[in-house]
Amino acid sequence: MHLLNAWRKAPHTRPAVIRKHPDFFIIGAPKCGTTALTEYLSHHPDIFMARKEMHHFGRDLHFGKQIYRRNRQDYLQEFAGWQGQSRAGEASVWYLFSGQAAEEIKTFNPRARIIMMLREPTEMLYSLYHQFRLDGNEHLPTFAAALAAEDDRLAGRQMTRNTYFRQGLIYHAVAAYTEQVKRYIKLFGRKQVKVILYDDFAADTAGVYREVLEFLGVDANRPLEAFPVINGSQEVKSSWLRSLMSDPLVRGTAIATRSWVPAVVFKSLINIESQLMQINIRPVKRPKLDPGLRRQLLRDFTPEIIQFGQLIGRDLSNWHAGDAAPAPLPPRYAQVEKPAVRQNSPSHHLTTCAKQ
């Protein structure tokens, strides 16, 4: 029972501070529109959205020292701004990829609503590659080189000092949608899970937005006046500044201050960092993916796409090659080997999905 309901039944037991626990989660995949949807939902009077990409859940997600990953107390503190809205949510795209986050969220709130946004794998991965190039997680100069390095990266090679999430660099594994989605459906049931395809979101943003409001059980008759493009294609102005801001020593030291500076000061530091990151980027038109590489990836993902379409009951023939399906992805891509990294590594916001 929520604290608010408990207080209504027994006023004398009212706690000094009533905080809302999240009751819905936008869980990914990356580069599929979650940033935009989070922004749109934050304007609804019945919804409170916490800071994006906290990644509190998912013990098998191993981020670097430069990533601010909140403990339970700090995580719940992010909901301190709740002002009585009927729904509170958060968005962390790697919850979908994680093999453990679903069970952790289920334990935390078995009645939680789950929203997942997915995109044709080739486009998603190409967009993710450029995002990783933007924030320093990826150093290889071409998408083809990054794909070719997957085996090396499974063995811990071809990383740099600024690599903050090596698991995400196994690109084929990120697009293994079927098992990821099936995990949440099995635990929460189809009534508590909503799958949104990026194609639908891009074609009818207002319609999908209304569907989400209905799914969350809030007033769906409050349309937004506009749905601006959020987090489009970008590049850094200064690679030196980007490297400095993503350096594990610099960021790790800054994150460590949270234990001895007032919370309001630490929050201000996070906001200043976000502003600096925004100042250091500019919009750019992304180069088109090489047609030959696109065709190869479409062939690679055809079996996965067919299975995923069957799972959600959608015809996704426009997503795959349409010719004879090759063998499924190698088993090594089905589950990324997890390096032995301390689970209390901090986590920072990872800029992700957008309409682009």
Lowest mean pLDDT among 170-179, 242-251, 294-303: 242-251
DSSP 193: E
- Of residues 175, 179, 177, 117, the one with CA closest to residue 147: 175
Give pLDDT, residue 340: 36
Give pLDDT, residue 295: 95
Lowest mean pLDDT among 170-179, 235-244, 266-275, 324-333: 324-333
Judged by DSSP in three states, 237 sits in coil
The more confidently predicted of residues 141 and 243 is 141
- Of residues 347, 350, 289, 294, the one with CA closest to residue 319: 294
Give pLDDT, residue 353: 35
DSSP 43: T
Question: Stretch 244-273: mean pLDDT, rounded?
Answer: 66
Going by pLDDT thresholds of 50, 70 and 90, the confidence category of residue 128 is: very high
Strand extents, DSSP E, the chain: 24-26, 47-49, 87-91, 113-118, 193-197, 234-236, 281-283
Give the Cα separation of 38 and 22 in Å (integer): 14
Q: Which CATH class is domain 22-236+286-333?
A: alpha beta
pLDDT at 117 over 80: yes
Give pLDDT, residue 248: 67
* Segment holding 236, helix H or strand E: strand 234-236
**What global pTM score does this model have?**
0.79
The more confidently predicted of residues 240 and 201 is 201
Lowest mean pLDDT among 25-29, 143-147, 199-203, 223-227: 223-227
pLDDT at 350 over 50: no
Give pLDDT, residue 225: 83
Question: Stretch 283-308: mean pLDDT, rounded?
Answer: 91
Question: Stretch 272-279: mean pLDDT, rounded?
Answer: 68
pLDDT in tens, 224-233: 888 887 765 6
Burial environment of residue 282 by CB neighbours within 10 A (0 to 12, 13 to 18, 19 or more): exposed
pLDDT in tens, 49-106: 999 999 999 999 999 988 889 899 999 999 999 999 999 999 999 999 999 999 999 9
Give pLDDT, residue 197: 98
Contact of 355 with 37, CB cutoff 8 Å:
no
DSSP string for 70-109: --HHHHHHTTTT--S-SEEEEE-THHHH-SSHHHHHHHH-
Query: How many percent of the chain have pLDDT more than 90?
Result: 63
Question: Stretch 309-327: mean pLDDT, rounded?
Answer: 80
Give pLDDT, residue 288: 92
pLDDT at 317 over 90: yes
Question: Stretch 112-137: mean pLDDT, rounded?
Answer: 96
Give pLDDT, residue 246: 66
Would you list the domain boundaries of the chain? 22-236+286-333
pLDDT in tens, 236-246: 555 656 565 66
The more confidently predicted of residues 337 and 279 is 279
Give pLDDT, residue 253: 65
N-terminal to C-terminal alpha carbon distance within the chain: 41
pLDDT at 338 over 60: no
Give pLDDT, residue 7: 35
Q: At residue 48, what are phi and psi to the nearest 5 degrees?
A: -110, 125
pLDDT mean across residues, the chain: 82
